[in-house]
Amino acid sequence: MGFKWMMMLVLCVLIGGSMGAKPNKPIDVPFGRNYEPSWAFDHIKYLNGGSEIQLSLDNRTVKRILSIWALCYAHKMVAGDSAGTVTAFYLSSQNSEHDEIDFEFLGNKTGEPYILQTNVYTGGKGDKEQRIYLWFDPTKDYHTYSILWNLYQIVFFVDEYPIRVFKNNKNLGIKFPFDQPMKIYSSLWEADDWATRGGLEKIDWSNAPFVASYKGFHIDGCESSVNAKFCANQGKSWWDQKEFQDLDTTQWRLLRRVRDKYTIYNYCTDKKRFSTMPKECKRNRDVPRNS
Ligand SMILES: *[C@@H]1O[C@H](CO)[C@@H](O)[C@H](O)[C@H]1NC(C)=O
Ligand SMILES: *[C@@H]1O[C@H](CO)[C@@H](O)[C@H](O)[C@H]1NC(C)=O
C-alpha cells in the first residue's frame, strides 16, 4: 500500500511461505490468539469473548488511523456514509524491497457502491491495481475475504469466488513474493485525498465513528522467524498440494464472470500507464488470451 501513515511496530504472526484461504476445516479462534492491536487501542471493541472485534475511526483517533494485525476471515465494512475511508486487509513483509498482497475497500456515500481494490507488490514494486464492484453490499453482512498464497500462486477470494490470480512465473523473470515472510494486517483509515470518486468525496466526521467489524480469525500457514526464508516443510503442506496449485475449471469460470461483470479498472489494460502490457498479465489471464 505504501501509505505514509502506515507505521506499525508491534510484532505478531509471521507467516513464511504460505497461508491458506481454503483450509480443510476452518477453526475460528479468538482474535487475541494470533493478532495484536498496534495502534489506537481504545478504538477496538471486543465482542463475544474476543471472537469478534470492531475497529472504529473518528476524529479523535490518533493520527486518524487504526491498525490491527488481523486476518479478517469474515468482515463487515463501515456502513452508511463511509466516503473517504479505506478498510484494508493485507499481507506484507518488512524489507525495503518488500512484498505485499492487498485487499483495500474504498468507502462511499450512503447507498453508493464500495470499490474493492487489489494489488500485489513484488520486490518493493506495486503498480498492479485492479478494481471491482462487489455483487453485494459489504456493509450489510459478514463476508469472507481470503488469500491463498503458496509456491504456485496467489489467489484472492471473496466468499468462494476467486476474484484475482497471480501465478508464480519466476522462470519467466516475473517476480513472485516468496522468499520473505509476511505479516497479516488490517486497518481502517482516512484516505479522502484519493479513495472516493478519486478524492472528490471527503470524510464527513459528523457521521463518526466509522466502524468495521471482524470475526472468524482463521489462519493456516507455517510460522516463521524473522530471518527464516522458507517454511521448514516446504511443499508438504495441504496448500501446496495439487488442487491448490491452480484454479479448477469451475473456478476459472467464476473468475471470468466476476471480471466480465464487475471490473472497473485493470492495470493490464491501462495503455496510458503501460505502453507494453506487463508480462504477467497474460499468464494470470487478466486479459483475454488472444488480445
Ligand atoms: C462511489 O459512488 C459513485 C457514484 O455511484 C461511483 O462512481 C464510485 O465508483 C463509487 N466508489 C468510489 C470508491 O468512489
Ligand atoms: C470531532 O467531531 C465532533 C463531532 O462532529 C466535534 O464536535 C469536535 O469538535 C471534533 N473535534 C476535533 C478535534 O476535530
Residue 67 has a pLDDT of 43
Q: Which of 52, 97, 104, 243 is catalytic?
A: 104
Distance separating alpha carbons of residues 149 and 146, to the nearest angstrom: 10
Query: Which of 59, 62, 63, 203 to mutate for ligand 2's pocket (most ligand atoms within 8 Å of CB)?
Result: 59
Do the beta carbons of residue 58 and residue 68 sit within 8 Å?
Answer: no
Per-residue pLDDT tens over the stretch 98-126: 899 999 999 899 889 999 999 999 989 99
Say what the pTM is.
0.83
CATH number at 5-283: 2.60.120.200
> Is 100 an active-site residue?
yes
Per-residue pLDDT tens over the stretch 242-276: 988 999 999 999 999 999 999 999 999 999 999 99
Interval 214-229 mean pLDDT: 69
Residue nearest to atom 7 of ligand 2 (CA): 206
**pLDDT category of residue 234 using cuts at 50, 70 and 90:** confident
Print the SS3 string covering 244-277. Answer: HCCCCHHHHHHHHHHHHHHEEEEHHHCCCCCCCC
Distance (angstroms) between ligand 2 centre and the Cα of 59 equals: 6
3-state helix, strand, coil in the chain (%, to 5): 15, 30, 50
Residue 229 has a pLDDT of 64
Please, where are the H alpha helices in the chain? Answer: 31-34, 249-262, 280-283
Distance separating alpha carbons of residues 115 and 44, to the nearest angstrom: 24
Distance (angstroms) between ligand 2 centre and the Cα of 2 equals: 28
Do the beta carbons of residue 277 and residue 287 sit within 8 Å?
Answer: yes
| Ligand 1 atom with minimal separation from the 195 CA | 13
What is the DSSP track for 205-241?
A: GGGPPEEEEEE-----EEE--SS--S-TTTTTSGGGS
Which position has the higher pLDDT, 133 or 143? 133
For the chain, domain boundaries = 5-283
Residue 290 has a pLDDT of 60
Distance separating alpha carbons of residues 159 and 161, to the nearest angstrom: 6
Residue nearest to atom 9 of ligand 1 (CA): 197
Residues with CB under 6 A from ligand 2: 59, 205-206
Q: Is 186 in the pocket of ligand 1 (CB under 6 A)?
A: no
